[in-house]
Amino acid sequence: MRFSGRKVLVLGGNSGIGLACAEAFAREGGAVRLTGRDRGTIAAAVASVPGARGDSVDISDLAAMERFYEQVAAEDGRIDVLVVNAGMGGFAPIDQLSPDYWDQVHAINLRGCVFAMQKAVRLMGEGGAIVVTGSIGGHAFVPGNLAYGAAKAGLALAMRQFAGEYVSQGIRVNMVSPGPVETPLLRRNPGMSDEVVGAMRAQMIEAVPMKRMGRAEEVAAAVLFLASPEASFITAANLFVDGGALEIG
């Protein structure tokens, strides 16, 4: 019960890694509030997380996020733990990369996440913890991964900046960077058929020294550790949960 009495906000908590985090925080006593864009998956997530509340809000809509945080302030008073997991996937070779696609990916995966953290720290105090979901794609060459990888690389830098600027206020900021993980995001790549996704998944498994995909619950365990008192002397860390893909290759 490491999070008993703690108010936990999981942005992008309606599926995949975010949902696994929400479920794990709730099991350990956290009062969980989660967000997403799809009302259907939010309702399903809330039903699976005891005591959770859910809100439909698009992290790329900064005005909507401002209104959401005002609601959080009025209803909850504070945020003790923030998990920034909202994001979108997608692959596009450089010769097919468009400005619109680039802007869409960065509006969610970088711009939206940065300003979500900026707004959240107003509601956090000493002992607060932020954990951001990064990706090994922000640190390695992956074909077709320029837009996504650049956004995640930028988010890793943003995490370190937040950690440095808020350490004096007692707020810790860390990142978990997963490798290939079995989540619904894998099958939400625009323009990719099931056959192509299957081939890509096989390539991912081959690139992982452990020769398997990760599980959302394994990433959630790392998130909970970094958010917990057990990690009280850790900030600005980037923990790779990737079966050795980046470190061993």
> Residues with catalytic annotation?
148
**Angstrom distance (rounded) from CA 231 to CA 28:** 16
Which tokens hold the place of 178?
Answer: 């997963």
Q: How far is CA 209 from CA 180, 203, 205, 240, in A?
A: 12, 12, 8, 14
Cα angle 151-157-159, degrees, rounded to a multiple of 5: 100
**Angstrom distance (rounded) from CA 219 to CA 195:** 26
Residue 199, classed as helix, strand or coil, is: helix
**Angstrom distance (rounded) from CA 169 to CA 121:** 10
